[in-house]
Amino acid sequence: MGEGQSPRLGINHTAVAELETEVLDWRHKAVPAAQHGRTAAEFGSGSLRLSDLQTPLLTLDAAALTGNVARMARWCAEHGVRLAPHGKTTMAPALWAAQLEAGAWGITLANAAQLRVARRFGVRTLMLANGLTDPSAIRWVADQVAAGARIVSWVDSVAGVDRLQRVLDAAGAGSLEVLVEIGGRGGRTGARGVDAARTVAEAVRAASRLRLGGIGGYEGALAHSWDEAGLSAVRGYLGDFRHLHETLAGDDTYETDEVILTAGGSAYFDDVVEILGPCAGSGVEVILRSGAYVIHDDGFYRGISPLSRRDPDAADAFVSAMRFWARVVSRTEPGLAILEGGKRDLPFDEGLPIPLGIGGELGQPLRPLPGAAITAVNDQHAFLCYSDELDVRPGDVVLLGLSHPCTALDKWTLMPVLDSVADPVDPVVVGTVRTFF
């Protein structure tokens, strides 16, 4: 176990803390030139306010981050399931540490490059929610497992099983723990249906260098709404998932005393728990992989999260922890202003940004923008349409709510964390979050 490694939390806190010693400069676009040369710790020490920063800018809210992590941990504990949050949402070791400290089973990631980031920061228990097919990645994972890490990956075909076996055989490596992935028609990866998945499971059982540890899958690829059609697709898939588990358990196919059943993004985790939750216990762990909840948003997840579908402002709902600030750079047509932030700075794949307010400068009170909307984004600009009676001028700061944290944080190497509780108008910078995409 490396220096700073926590046996309880499974992350190297010394490595995470060292991020605070990074000297900030031109590589960190959220940092004004006047602050270059300061360390991340100095930048987030409370000596700066929002008004000391520059636009365009993505900020995070300290209270929202803390509250969202605690809320999800509490929900999982109350429902008797574990959580391996999908770390690809943030790729932020400091946030992973907070999630692990709140009781997470481990961290989920999507590819070998992301796994390497996690191992650099000492994360010991990892789930790769994907299949391993690249030979160098397979060998590297085998080496990490031999060194003491637990990395659970997925496989969804007999051909995938054969490939893993051949590469591990050639490398003389030990065995890998894998989950058979079940998918659904029209979905993404995953063996299509119970029979196909059962065939894959039997192939894993027959492979000398693989161990069948359970079942993985992702219901979120099958629906994008919580209307009757969307929920029917999700629940039908989860029914197949449970049937596969009951079949494999009945046939004594698993090769572990701790079977993992894992599904659940940030949109349908309540359905996952309702259908798969009764399987937990007696050597079976049901593990959710929700990742977007820690940041949440003002768009897609605000409307579909199980904790906010019916009332996005409910006391137990997640709260968006991200805000985007952009200035008006042009206003040459009536009712149209061009903002300085675009596709290189903010997400647009799950809905365009939402105007929340406008002010003269950062750190000044905002006034509402009734009826205003972002109608399009270019690489570096956004189109703000508004009614003629609104006063919008070049240099004004527009606050935008965003949709989809997974494609927001990947555009920023470092984000200031604000304390908006003490001062919601001109909050203090109380920290930073460093990402590794």
pLDDT of residue 4: 54
Q: Does residue 288 surpass a pLDDT of 90?
A: yes
* pLDDT, averaged across the chain: 96
Q: Which amino acid is it at 165?
A: Q
Instruction: Output the pLDDT for position 281.
Output: 93
Question: Contact, 358 vs 90, CB < 8 A?
Answer: no
Report DSSP letters for 51-111, one per residue: GGS-SSEEEEEHHHHHHHHHHHHHHHHHHT-EE--BGGGT--HHHHHHHHHTT-S-EEESS
Tokens 């000297």, residue located? 23
**Mean pLDDT for the stretch of residues 344-365:** 97
Structural domains present in the chain: 1-63+294-437 (2.40.37.20), 124-290 (3.20.20.10)
pLDDT of residue 187: 86
Mean pLDDT of 150-155: 98
At 2, the pLDDT band (50, 70, 90 cuts) reads very low
6, pLDDT greater than 70: no
- 141-148 contact pairs (CB < 8 A, 24+): 141/112, 141/115, 141/176, 142/168, 142/171, 142/173, 142/174, 142/176, 143/173, 144/115, 144/119, 145/174, 145/176, 145/177, 146/173, 146/174, 148/1, 148/124
pLDDT of 317: 96
Dihedral in degrees, nearest 10, Cα atoms 345, 347, 349, 350: -170
Number of H helices, E strands in the chain: 11, 18
How much of the chain, in percent, has pLDDT values that exceed 90? 95
CB-based burial label for 368 (10 Å; 0-12, 13-18, 19+): exposed
Alpha-carbon dihedral angle through residues 421, 423, 425, 426, given to the nearest 10 degrees: -120
At 1, is the pLDDT very low, low, confident or very high (cuts 50, 70, 90)? very low
pLDDT for 9 equals 62
Give the tens place of pLDDT for each residue, 104-128.
999 999 999 999 999 999 999 999 9
Q: H-type helices in 8-61, by residue range?
A: 13-17, 40-43
